[in-house]
Each structure stands twice: as C-alpha cells, then as structure tokens.
Amino acid sequence: MLDPPVLPETIHTPFYCEENVFLLGEAFLSCGQEVFAVFISNEFKTVVLWNQKQSKDPQSVVVWDYHVVLWLRTSDGQNWIYDSDSRLPVPSLMKDYLHDTFREGVPRSYQSLFRVVPGRIYLENFASDRSHMHASTSLPPCYAPLRGSASAVANNLMRSFVSMVPSEETFGNVYDLSRMLRMAEA
C-alpha cells in the first residue's frame, strides 16, 4: 500500500465543507488524482456522525443537516477520505472512516445517505451563493462564492447535491452505508 497523497495547501473555512471540498478537489485534480465529492444527508436533513470535532465528547454524535467529504482513489486502488471536521486522521482509509464515523441500526431519521459525485463534474456544476448560511454566525470564506463553469444558476447546492432524491437536477449517485462500505473494500 502506498502512502496517501499529502493534503495540498488550500483555504479551509469552518462550516463551509462543500467549499472546502471544492478547493481540495480542485487541487487534487490538478495533480491528476481521481476524486469524488461525497455529500452526506437524508430526506430529513438530520444525519449523525461520530468522531466529529464539533462534539465536545469524542463518544458523542454530531447531527448535521448535511456534510461533505472528499474521497480520493489512488492508482493502487486505495480509497482515502479527507474530512477536516473529523477527529480521525486526515486522510483516513475509507473503510476505517466509514466504520468510525457511521453506525448501522440508527433510527431512519438519522441514517446517512451518500451522494457520490465525480470530482470534475462537481467542479464544473457546483454553485453556491451561500444563502443556506444566512442564520449562521460563522464567518464566510475570504473569497467570492464558488460557481462552476457549467453552472447556469448561482445556487444549486441543496437541490443538485445535498438532495438525496434523484432528479434531472441532481449529480452523481446516491448510496446507503452498506453500499459505501462495499465500495471502500473494492
């Protein structure tokens, strides 16, 4: 097994995981790496994740409306997850990350679904005007809102990426935890 690719220098803004993954994906793609943006949510916008920095107690969960991580697949077939909001090492092997961050058997309203979007498609089509953060007290990133070259709208974050319901407006494919675990082992 090769060592994971080193985390490139990118801007990181707390609570803007979709933009952090966009910038990280851009950096990795420019180096020829295969990456995916992985959106984690469900129809209720209440997913539980363990080992998140936002939890005061490492054994407690954090409930997010959605979360986004970067999946990198190396040329030797290793799968790595980059989640700067996790207490786990960055990067972590995908199978370890999934086992330590999610649990099977949680109530349906807290079960995670995963929208996996190939990196290039994400960078070309993502757009956010940051309006979903209107009530947040966190500071926005120091750069202008991101908008991919193929996006015809100023904001498609929630309907095209966070939504776990397939439609003509969504990108990527949606998987449950058991399918993600099988992909991590592949």
Return the pLDDT at 36: 98
Q: What are the beta bridge partners of residue 96? A: none
| DSSP code per residue over 71-97 | EEE-TTS-EEEE-TTBSS-SSEEHHHH
Say which DSSP state 8 is in.
Answer: P
Task: Give me the catalytic one of 3, 12, 17, 176.
Answer: 17
Return the pLDDT at 133: 86
Summary mean pLDDT of the chain: 94
Q: What is the pLDDT of residues 69-113, one digit of tens each?
A: 999 999 999 999 999 999 999 999 999 999 999 999 999 999 999
Please report the domains of the chain, with CATH numbers, ordered by start residue.
Answer: 17-119+160-185 (3.10.620.10)
Task: Give me the catalytic one of 57, 65, 76, 83.
Answer: 83
Can you tell me the distance from the alpha carbon of 68 to that of 80, in angstroms, rounded to the nearest whole number? 14
**Which of 182, 181, 178, 172 has the alpha carbon at shortest distance from 39?**
172
* Distance, C-alpha 155 to centroid of its chain: 17
Residues of the chain with pLDDT under 70: 1
Distances (CA, A) of 110 to 17, 58, 63: 19, 18, 8
Task: Give me the catalytic one of 3, 31, 65, 67.
Answer: 67
- Give the three-class secondary structure for 180: helix
Return the pLDDT at 4: 82
Distances (CA, A) of 84 to 27, 70, 75, 185: 15, 10, 23, 22
Can you tell me the distance from the alpha carbon of 118 to that of 121, in angstroms, rounded to the nearest whole number? 5
Can you tell me the distance from the alpha carbon of 21 to that of 69, in angstroms, rounded to the nearest whole number? 6
Q: 132 catalytic, yes or no?
A: no
Can you tell me the distance from the alpha carbon of 132 to that of 65, in angstroms, rounded to the nearest whole number? 11
Q: 83 catalytic, yes or no?
A: yes
